[in-house]
Chains A and B, each alone.
Chain A
Amino acid sequence: MTDPAAAVGSARHPPGDLAIWVFILAELLAFGVFFTVYAITRMKNVALFDEMQLTLDRRAGAVNTILLILGSWCVARSVAAIQLDQKVKSARWLLLGIAAGGGFLVVKLFEYSAKLGAGINLATNTFYMFYLSLTFFHFMHVILGMVILLAVWLKARKGGYSAADHHGLETGASYWHMVDLVWIILFPLVYVMR
């Protein structure tokens, strides 16, 4: 397998459209502020945050982390396949990535359903205000990522990308990986660290 990164050296532009990378940086900034405010608020309410964290379904959080990692891996394999001009394979990897994202949404909906069923909402306490708003903010990004991947897949299944031209696929993939990257911090921060 060839590795363009190693072959070309350090003069490459990031994969996909430059505009998506500006958007990704803006999104990372927004999540960074959210994480910072969560950590500082927790610093002032340690007992409450530690107590409430125990009421979360940590197993569901871990399963969702694995699903997003799998989704990201599938999409990376899709890009790798199209670089070798394997169009059908690339489209199938994309579809698997979308399915992993769908799995994430289903697990998260079960979590939300359990919390709402127990009478928990944004007004319950500071911890749940952060938990619900932060995870829902991310949830919406997963949906947006899936919509982008779906559009890319629709083109990919018709053979719309090739080894020579797969800019759009890389653009969608970059956004999807950002969604995964953010959850890599969100999971330990909200579900595990105490």
Chain B
Amino acid sequence: MARLNLILLVIAVACALATVAANHKGRKLFVELEREQVRMRQLEVEWGQLQLEQSTWAGHPRIEKIARELLGMRPPVPGQIVSLEARQK
């Protein structure tokens, strides 16, 4: 009888410790998840800012200015345009 009680006590203590450990682990994972979610938000924000930056760099006024002034480009005059017929398949 006393032996059974002892075994049950040991089991109960082990279960209690396991519960505590699982809870702790759960919280740690939760904190990690939380951190990753914050990071996700930050990356989304950064993506938005990069998109903004991209469209600023790729703005038509800027491209036209560079093409005309830096690279000396200009639109072709009518005589220089050769239009090709699409080949029938």
Partners in one complex: no
